């Protein structure tokens, strides 16, 4: 009786234990909408207002702060940290003094000149340049 049921369902097993290898019917085409067109890239809006000149150039306070951060970072990446640390410590003290003067608003023009002179000195130093290459 099991043999008759197997023949009716169309899945007879052969002696090897494999199913009958009949080709499967092709999948029917789905009834979906056609593919949507790709979206056009958005055009950038024209700039209405140019950035303010103060936003373009950092303030003296920001310059001193970035110089201080660069000196701190260079202490960590210096090829010769023992010889460089003393020099960097002196620069950091001078940077702190200039930062305090600018923050207090006392002699702003003189403090800016001092900050630019300090920046030129630090960036002109060979040890600072070597440490900067590593970060």
Write the pLDDT tens digit of every residue in 105-122.
Answer: 776 788 889 889 999 999
> Would you list the DSSP string of 19-36?
PP-PPPPPPPPP--PPPP
Q: Average model confidence (pLDDT) for the chain?
A: 75
Going by pLDDT thresholds of 50, 70 and 90, the confidence category of residue 9 is: low
pTM across the whole model: 0.54
Q: How far from the centroid of its chain's Cα atoms is residue 40's Cα?
A: 28
Name the token pair of 52. 């303010």
Asked if 92 and 68 count as a contact pair (C-beta separation under 8 A), the reply is: yes
Contact (CB, 8 A) for 101 and 111: yes
High-pLDDT (> 70) share of the chain, %: 56
pLDDT tens track for 14-46: 555 566 666 666 655 555 666 666 666 666 655
CA distances from 98 to 17, 59, 67, 120, 126 (A): 90, 13, 11, 14, 23
Instruction: Say if CB 80 and CB 127 are below 8 A apart.
Output: yes
49-56 average pLDDT score: 48
For 98-118, b where at least 16 C-beta lie within 10 A, e where not — what string? bbebbeeeeeeeebbebbeeb
Give the list of residues 6+ apart from residue 20 with CB closer than 8 angstroms, or none.
Answer: 10, 11, 12, 13, 14
Say yes or no to pLDDT of 92 above 90.
Answer: yes
């Amino acid at each position: 009786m099991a043999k008759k049921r197997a023949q009716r369902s169309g899945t007879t097993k052969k002696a090897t234990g494999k199913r009958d290898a009949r080709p499967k019917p092709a999948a029917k085409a789905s009834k979906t909408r056609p593919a949507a067109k790709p979206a056009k890239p958005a055009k950038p809006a024209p700039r209405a207002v140019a950035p303010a000149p103060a936003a373009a150039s950092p303030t003296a306070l920001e310059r001193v702060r970035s110089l201080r951060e660069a000196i701190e970072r260079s202490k960590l990446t210096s090829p010769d940290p023992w010889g460089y640390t003393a020099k960097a410590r002196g620069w950091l003290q001078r940077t702190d003094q200039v930062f305090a003067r600018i923050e207090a608003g006392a002699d702003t023009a003189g403090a800016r000149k001092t900050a630019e002179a300090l920046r030129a000195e630090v960036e002109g130093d060979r040890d600072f340049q070597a440490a900067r290459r590593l970060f």
